[in-house]
Amino acid sequence: MREILLRQKQVLFFIIAGGLSAIVEIGSFKIFSTYLPHIISKEINFHGIHYPLSNIFSTSCGIISNYFLSIWFVFERGKHSKRKEFAYFMGVSFISTLLSLSFFQIFYSFIFKDNIDLIFYTLSPEIISKIAAILLVSILNYSIKKKVIFNG
């Protein structure tokens, strides 16, 4: 088991970095989705899009934390300059954000309708949808970041 973990160290660190970034993203989404509707009434439902600013702001927080965790702990620098690497990372993250927002809308509108009671905490449909969208997009992110951006 230890040999498998050592061989898969990068995947393990990616999962840890992704988990930490997901905590940042979900936590900031909870904060934004709680307080922004008090300031902007259309935040809950803006022409059929649920929590658009909360999603964009929280995803941005997650992306920024993931970038720094990725370069510090997960990937080695590739053949690109730091500027180009950052630009590629942000480009991939922008596309990932669009996918994540789309998946969130689908999950929130059609799939997750009820709270999930975890005894110590209750997950709302918004949070469940956010978690599902993050998990789905993270698989794509790892592949692209490893092969294209960091040339691993």
The pLDDT score that the predictor gives to residue 150 is 74
The pLDDT score that the predictor gives to residue 32 is 92
How far is residue 56's CA from residue 76's CA, in Å, rounded to a whole number?
Answer: 28
β-sheet bridge partners, residue 116: 123
72-84 pLDDT tens trace: 887 776 667 778 8
Q: What sign does the CA torsion over 26, 31, 32, 34 have?
A: positive
How far is residue 63's CA from residue 145's CA, in Å, rounded to a whole number?
Answer: 12
pTM recorded for the entire structure: 0.75
Q: Which H or E run contains 93?
A: helix 82-106
Token pair listed for 131: 């978690």
End-to-end CA separation in angstroms for the chain: 23
Which whole number is the average pLDDT over 92-114?
A: 89
19-34 pLDDT tens trace: 899 899 999 999 999 8
How far is residue 75's CA from residue 10's CA, in Å, rounded to a whole number?
Answer: 7
| Percent of the chain surpassing pLDDT 70 | 91
